[in-house]
Structure 1
Amino acid sequence: MPELPPFSAVILAGGRAARMGGQAKPQLEVGGRTILAAVLAAVADADPRIVVGPPQPVPPGVVVVREEPPRGGPVAAVRAGLEHVPTEVVAVLAGDLPFVTPRLVGQLRERLTGDGVLVVDDTGQDQLLLGVWRTTALRAAVAGARGPTSVRKVLAPLAVRRLHPDVAPGQPPPWTDCDTPADLARARAAAATRSVPRRVPRRPPG
């Protein structure tokens, strides 16, 4: 397999989180680590890794920037993040995806053709903030957007490929997000089940 080109990662970690009581979703814990830490781990080989949102704890070397205006929505956040992207390829991910993995990001990078590739879920719904893009194409798409507008509308003109990743039975899908307290509770329960090691029955002596 040919070596994949270097890439950057833009992680959207802002928003009001009104349904979570105002708590910053990326800083909530699932499976013993913050959701943002899980997303950053999925793009550990990206350089740079850019978090767009209010000031918040991040590992050394991770860049934190703010969209303009603050809380201006995901399109403004993508535009702000792209200002710091030097590579020809960029991963764009929501900051509330506790089960996204490096393997999935690698699969997206491998399948990048045209302008971008994104994940589609079991219902056929595009996961617009779980994809890998040609930086130039994405930058051009968001450049002309002004005021509140939808990510779907901005991405509509682009040539996009779709990936429906395989999900092992009993495992949470990578597009699982945490928009509500119920979502968070389900994610924590899934992480707890996934992290419990299987017990091997002990053979009786003799």
Structure 2
Amino acid sequence: MGTYAAVVLAGGAARRMGGVDKPALPVGGRPMRDRVLAAVSDATLRVLVGSADAVPAGVRVIREEPPGGGPVAAAAAGLALLDPDTALVALLAADLPLLTRSAIGELLGHVAEEAAAGGGERRPDGACFVDGDGRRQSLCGVWRVAALRAAVHRLTVERGGSLSGAPVRALLAGLVVREVAWSGDGPPPWFDCDTDEDVRRAEEWAR
């Protein structure tokens, strides 16, 4: 698998679940955020953006500014910790308990293949999974760090210096995205848990 870093976003309010610390909820006996971090255990750097009582060894923790400012503010905080020469980053929600290393490998492969294809077309800025209805799962993707940093700068300027509350679609607007439908064995790695029913379904898949 190619060299990459990983930024896991764990600062959501989980309003549909009563405001619980959703990434800490267990699926298959492990907190969802730990399952996501395990899927990227081969990353050169793993960053968790949000609050956490305990994380696996080697994981750096940072808070977005302001705390609770949303996924774009969290992504910007995570990107700020990456080494200048980091080329690729997996940008992931912390509530993806079915994510696997092979799924990350597939996304990395698509970014590399598209870049090598050439042909005069603009190379992709990243790749993310799409669900069965063709909706992008943008926080289950691999992106070129330079493209994301440029997008963060653009959006910061457009919003007068604040990324608080900015939607992910605004961050990714204008980027060339390779959309990937999951074709592997097992449950979809992009499945996120927004409700108690989602957590129960993930538990069934994780058995």
The TM-score range, normalised by the shorter chain, is 0.7 to 0.9
Pairs within 5 Å for 1:124-143: 124-143=134-153
Shift of 1:167: 4.1
Q: How many percent identity over aligned positions?
A: 50
Within 5 Å, give how 1:64-143 maps onto structure 2. Answer: 64-86=61-83, 87-112=86-111, 113=115, 114-143=124-153
Q: 1:29, 1:182 → 2: CA distance? A: 13
1:148 aligns with 2:158: no
Letter in 1 for 2:17: M
Following superposition, which runs of at least 4 residues in structure 1 exceed 4 angstroms of deviation? Answer: none
Task: Determine the structure 2 residue equivalent to 1:36.
Answer: 33
SS at match of 1:111: helix
Q: Could you say what secondary structure the match of 2:142 adopts? A: strand
5+ residue gaps, structure 1: 193-206
* Distance across 2 between alignment mates of 1:84 and 1:66: 11
Counterpart secondary structure, 2:129:
strand
For 1:44, the aligned partner's letter is S
CA distance in 2, matches of 1:118, 1:56: 29
Counterpart amino acid of 1:164?
A: A
How far apart, in 1, do the equivalents of 2:138 and 2:90 lie? 11
Paired amino acid for 2:105: G
Distance 2:16 2:153 in 1: 30
Whole-Å separation in 2 of the counterparts to 1:151 and 1:82:
14
1:32-66 CA-to-partner distances (Å, cap 9, x unmatched) read: 21111110111010021000001332011100000
- SS of the residue corresponding to residue 108 of structure 1 reads helix
Q: Return the offset for 1:144.
A: 3.1
Count of aligned positions: 187
Matched, 1:23 2:20: yes
Scaled by the length of structure 1, the TM-score of the pair is: 0.87
Deviating more after overlay: 146-155 vs 6-15: 146-155
Contact 1:79 1:143 (C-alpha < 8 Å) held by counterparts: no
Aligned to 1:161: 178
Query: What is the TM-score when the length of structure 2 is the normalising length?
Result: 0.86
For residue 190 of structure 1, report the CA deviation from its aligned partner.
2.1
Whole-Å Cα distance in 2 between the matches of residues 172 and 139 of structure 1? 32
